[in-house]
Amino acid sequence: MYSLGGIRSLPANWRSTTASMTTTESVRKVPQVLTVAGSDSGAGAGIQADLKVCAARGVYCASVITAVTAQNTRGVQSVHLLPPEFVSEQLKSVLSDFEFDVVKTGMLPSTEIVEVLLQNLSEFPVRALVVDPVMVSTSGHVLAGSSVLSIFRERLLPIADIITPNVKEASALLGGVKIETVEEMRSAAKLLHEMGPRFVLVKDFKTFVECGTLLLGKEFHELRSPRIATRNTHGTGCTLASCIAAELAKGSSMLSAVKVAKRFVDNALDYSKDIVIGTGKQGPFDHFFSLKKDPQSSRCSIFNPDDLFLYAVTDSRMNKKWNRSIVDAVKAAIEGGATIIQLREKEAETREFLEEAKSCVGICRSHGVCLLINDRIDIALACDADGVHVGQSDMPVDLVRSLLGPDKIIGVSCKTPEQAHQAWKDGADYIGSGGVFPTNTKANNRTIGLDGLKTVCEASQLPVVAIGGIGISNAVSVMQINTPNLKGVAVVSALFDQECVLTQTKKLHKTLEESKKEV
């Protein structure tokens, strides 16, 4: 259960200033988060959880350790505070070197450690501060004494962009007020907001009805999802806060960051509900959504940009022309060397398309090839495809992400550097750039040529696949652009408007391999 309140909004230029984090030395600055928190020897919460979350969300994370704990799935056995002077040395070391977009705090166990944090933040300001006021673990162990409450209220909360207390911590910060209902969570969020933070997220993982309330301006936004029955809840608070920090570092608005973080925690809890780690009553959960999977499994669960090498896009009209099914076409393309498949079926009926998509998913999974659906989010969800590809006039990427969850692949078509940059900000995984050459598969499709493709590739912070009129005769000229982000070519007619898909795929694959050697 969450209640998120915040009457003031972030600065109007938040997205632009955060997302356009480039320097003259590098146009591909990696989003960076610093976590200042305690170490969890069981690796379910604290620093360890923060590092795993940021890695899973594609953000670099450095750490400053405030305390070392002896803990496992049974609870916290001991806490050892690091000297404030050493915490300060850690802070100075990383803050003077890295360009952090967001600082996220967790366990700050003493007033002296809070003081050194405040001092260093005054010397090395960052774009955003996420404060998770860790005082009580989910298992009930006290991790910070009442002595820190005063400095939290008076000095730390006023400079925070968002604070994320659980109901016990919110109650402590408010002097022991009772917080048991959603309405009381809303009231608590408003009272905490009056202490200075821009936004307040009050959460209740004990009941875990998953009711959230976001206050933007004077308006509340409810965030709801069913309760997930699982023992693996250790680290939920740390995970939520660090995921918010990661999304802010990537340029998301606060509302978007909170929504993504909530989905991320929900998905991790649901995925991990039958995993057993440790012997205690409260186990950790899987941030990477991979522990249940067979290490030998060929499912393409993590997107590899090299998959874009030979990107095959189906077309129902061509399949009908050559009297073959989508399934047969996909199987032949994969056997010929296609490394990623996109189903683009504009004329197929939904029921028929879904059944064919399910069959294609099975074929792709058995060969370790990713399968994406063009435009049709409903089909992608129903057949459990690896992701979707959308165009500029289709559903916005951030909305697609909200529907698919954090672990699916999203590609977006881009013709300009501006569109490529927006795709990165919105959370796409790759872009398809073109049409490079004229093509018959799309009417009135404006071509950008090789020069336009090169411009997009050089501006993009995402891997790029070239598309539009590409075949054996001109694929080499495309790959000779030789920019680091250009990972491959996407083709339609060159494969599927041919009598033998298998033969043509093998020929094109060989051509691309030879072009790589030449470059």
Catalytic machinery residues: 203, 233, 235-238
Helix (H, G, I), strand (E, B) or coil at 78: strand
Rounded Cα–Cα distance for residues 407 and 286 (Å): 12
Q: At a CB cut-off of 8 Å and minimum separation 6, what does 2 contact?
A: 185, 201, 202, 203, 204, 210, 211, 212, 213, 223, 262
Rounded Cα–Cα distance for residues 296 and 366 (Å): 11
Q: At a CB cut-off of 8 Å and minimum separation 6, what does 12 contact?
A: none
Nearest to 264 by CA among 293, 285, 292: 285
**Which residue type sits at 204?**
D
**Which residue type sits at 200?**
V
Nearest to 498 by CA among 308, 312, 309: 312
If one counts every other C-beta atom within 10 angstroms of the C-beta of residue 307, the result is 24
Rounded Cα–Cα distance for residues 2 and 4 (Å): 6
If you search the block for the tokens 């073109």, which residue do you land on?
A: 434
Token pair listed for 246: 């990661």
Rounded Cα–Cα distance for residues 148 and 105 (Å): 14
Helix (H, G, I), strand (E, B) or coil at 26: coil
Beta bridge partners of 341: 312, 371
Rounded Cα–Cα distance for residues 317 and 441 (Å): 10
Asked whether 384 and 378 are in contact (CB, 8 A), the reply is no
Rounded Cα–Cα distance for residues 288 and 286 (Å): 6
Rounded Cα–Cα distance for residues 213 and 332 (Å): 50
CA dihedral 339, 340, 344, 345 (to 10 degrees): 70
DSSP state of 158: G
List Cα–Cα distances, 76 to 49, 82, 118, 234, 367, in angstroms: 16, 17, 27, 12, 45
